[in-house]
Amino acid sequence: MYLLLLYYIINFIIFLFKHLLLYGFMLIDSKLEKNRLEKKHEQMKLQLHRIGRKRKSNERKKRLTRKLLECGKEGEIKMLEILKKKYKNVVDNNITNKYSTFDFSDNTMKVDFECKNRVKYTHNQFDKDGYVGGLMYGRNKFNYSLERLKLGYRQIIYWPCKDGIFFWELYSPEKQKEEYTFGKNCNKELNQTPQDMVYVKIKSLTKL
């Protein structure tokens, strides 16, 4: 009888141990699942936050790009009116080709004009230590001018600035070596990749 009682007691202990062990595993699984869900939730929140930041950044870039384009177009319109007073046959190249390298041309007098709007800055604002200095325009436009010079076209670049309109004429790259230098620049607010630029030195500029 004692053996039978001992048998039942042992079996009860084993049964109890199994269920306690199972319950323990269930608690661990539940905690792990909870942690997994919490981690997944945090990842989703972080992802949504990143998407929101990226969307805001893209919207800001679009607004800035639109503002720069509008400002540039406004400057071009004003510059064209000024040019028309001297060059009667000047035309806006952007009308026929919005990707035109130079903004305006007078094919009668054989001259090309480029307008780089800098009305937010004075002409010598970046002529300081640590900066290349001077007013800049794209190296691609410089290369374009080299070909146009061979055809007998004059090449003039205008910069409407806060303190007036300044210009420079490229007529002989070799003879004018001291008037300009090459470098790289970009609009950091738009996260642009640095592009090859030409910097025309302040002393080489003429005020209109």
pLDDT of the residue at 54: 65
pLDDT of the residue at 73: 67
pLDDT in tens, 131-172: 556 899 999 999 999 999 999 999 999 999 989 999 999 999
Q: Is the pLDDT of residue 63 over 50?
A: yes
Instruction: Produce one character per residue of 10-47: b if its CB has 16 or more CB atoms within 10 Å, e if not.
Output: eeeeeeeeeeeeeeeeeeeeeeeeeeeeeeeeeeeeee
Q: What percent of the chain has pLDDT over 90?
A: 38
Q: Is the pLDDT of residue 95 over 60?
A: yes
Alpha-carbon gap, residue 123 to 133, rounded angstroms:
10
What's CA 17's distance to the chain center, in Å? Answer: 67
Alpha-carbon gap, residue 79 to 208, rounded angstroms:
11
Alpha-carbon gap, residue 135 to 15, rounded angstroms:
88
Query: Smallest Cα–Cα separation from 102: which of 48, 46, 170?
Result: 170
Whole-prediction pTM value?
0.65
Task: Report residue 64's pLDDT band, with 50, 70 and 90 as the boundaries.
Answer: very low
Q: Is the pLDDT of residue 34 over 60?
A: yes
pLDDT in tens, 108-129: 999 999 999 888 888 888 765 4
Mean pLDDT of 180-204: 83
Computed over every residue of the chain, the mean pLDDT equals 79
Neighbours of 167 (CB within 10 A): 19
More confident residue, 11 or 173: 173
Q: Is the pLDDT of residue 59 over 90?
A: no
Q: Is the pLDDT of residue 91 over 50?
A: yes
pLDDT of the residue at 142: 97
